[in-house]
Chains A and B, each alone.
Chain A
Amino acid sequence: MGKTFAEKMLALKSGKESVIAGEIVTVSPDLVMSHDNSAAIAKKFKQIGIDKVKHPEKIIIPLDHCVPAATEKYASNHKEIREFVREQKIENFYDINIGVCHQVLPEKGHILPGTMILGADSHTTTYGAFGAFSTGIGRSEVASIWATDEIWLRVPETIKINIEGEIPPGIYPKDIILYIIGDLGADGALYKAVEFSGKVIRDMDIGGRMTLCNMAVEMGAKIGYVEPDEKTIQWLAPRINKKYEIIKSDADAEYEKIINYDISDLEPQIACPHTVDNVKPVSKVAGAKIDQALIGTCTNGRLEDLKVASKILRGKKISSGVRLLIFPASMEVFAQAMELGILQKLVKSGAVIMNPGCGPCLGAHEGALAPGEVCLSTANRNFKGRMGCKEAEVYLASPATVAISSLYGEITDVRGDLK
């Protein structure tokens, strides 16, 4: 019997000949990521009672969750992190002007296929889009890895999700992953490795694959994974100068389940308040009024997302009752969007261009909601209170759905505009 990607990776990183699903192993990751939570992690690290991190070269810290600092407290948090980074000689530090961790790590060449990245952020699953084994862990665990270079992991069973068919007009990777999460549920892939495969994945660009892997955690998955191909290699080529080995599941690997989807007839999808798996076709909730529209975050703040939005908004004005916030996922995306004239078009339509970062996604700043308000966002979570107010509602959809809805001031099916 062959091995899955997850089994191969956990054998490799634990130094074992082979492992099987269900086994608990001790691994040494290639890279450990933490962000604005690094000051809290540094405190835990000091509590252990040692002065120096074991492998500063394995640590990476981008600031993104509340940048630039919203208040004195956030500013002090950032200051503590900068001091810790200097003290520990951590070279892979990205200050407030670079972008969201899950965009920055691949862009800056830190993500290689066949490597293991653990991060103090649940959406660390994103790097599976490049054939890496990456998942979220807690703060104490990052502190402990800084001290010991080790952590325990359970070898997950693997679910294969085959996506076939032709992507219909108006449908984007976000619609596909929302549909799957709605179908399988918030715990549909709990503790499992999820491999995305099929024609639709092969045809999909890297950004779309990142959106899928990013949201794999919203159905409970431990990792998302897309087998690297020529597109992956091309995307990575100008960004990395290290050799890497592509690791794939064997053809006869044992999957817990293989789920097949044909998306040829898929409608635009939307996650309704207050859970990510409360997914409906946009046509079922069309007409619902919105107060704020947000395009950005680690799920959908890439150049291709901003292009889609600017194409829909070009030459038109957003509804007077709507605030449209654009958060490019990184400064690289921001600069490219500026050079291509995308940001100018968005501004002319009435959008507010924000700096790269997580923005109001977790309710910290830059566009929090008031009681009774409704936000339509390209983010990945819509739990009660998520955007700072428990009496507000958050819907999640593709950049195209968010853009078209901001024109009409209500949730709108983008396909009407294509006719």
Chain B
Amino acid sequence: MSIKGKAWKYGDDVNTDVIFPGKYTYTITDPKEMAIHALEDLDSKFAKEVKKEDIIVAGRNFGCGSSREQAATCLKYAGVGAIVAKSFSRIFFRNAINQGLPLVQCKEAAENISSGELIEINFEKGKLSCKKGVFDFPPLPESVLGILNDGGLIPHTRKILKIEKGE
């Protein structure tokens, strides 16, 4: 699988409250509506202008804070194709994979990508291409990749339990 999209660059410690504010956590249940509020308290332009397969590029500890899965869901439904960061907060990492949203942990790439440039990521080969060159990143562990390839944890669990189709 590979994707190509525009980079939206942010800094360190982008937390779940600025990705998806707590005040919406129990009032917004439709993922498409969640997408309207993606990164609302960090970059008000983002949700309006983001295109399918665009890529978020950030510094350290992306997604720190709450366990709210909507932080991953809102980005996924806003069209984000992948997130490249120096590191990810633990629960956000899990939530993104569980929503079928690919993550690339690559310090060098995150440092070298400029906001707005077009970047391409090949997940099988573990390569990211941007203006400043091609960067290698380690593949995700096999068990984690399995969840991502099944489109997220719910379809993955359905597969494990050999259930044809859920509700």
- Contact residues of A with B, CB < 8 Å? 24, 36-37, 40, 43-44, 46-50, 65-66, 71, 73-74, 77, 119-122, 124, 135-141, 143-144, 147-148, 152, 186-187, 190-191, 220, 222, 275, 277, 362-364, 368, 381, 383-386, 388, 390
Contacts and interface: CB of A to CB of B under 8 A. Distances in A.
A124 B67 CA distance: 10
A383 B21 CA distance: 10
Interface residues of B, number: 49
Contacts, number: 147
B22 A363 contact: yes
A222 B64 CA distance: 12
Contacts of B60: 187
Given A138-B94, A147-B157, A187-B89, 17 more contacts: A37-B26, A120-B67, A122-B66, A124-B67, A138-B91, A140-B95, A143-B157, A148-B160, A187-B13, A220-B89, A220-B90, A362-B66, A385-B18, A385-B40, A386-B22, A390-B21, A390-B41
28 contacts: A24-B141, A37-B25, A37-B26, A37-B68, A40-B29, A46-B167, A48-B161, A49-B163, A49-B166, A122-B67, A136-B67, A140-B99, A141-B98, A148-B161, A186-B13, A186-B64, A190-B90, A220-B61, A222-B90, A277-B13, A362-B22, A362-B23, A363-B21, A384-B18, A386-B17, A386-B22, A388-B21, A390-B21
Given A49-B158, A136-B91, A152-B143, A186 B61 contact: yes
Given A24-B141, A190-B61, A65 B26 contact: yes
A122 B143 contact: no
A124 B90 CA distance: 13
Given A48-B158, A138-B95, A147-B157, A383 B61 contact: no
B55 interface: no
A40 B67 CA distance: 14
B152 interface: yes
A170 B23 CA distance: 34
B103 interface: no
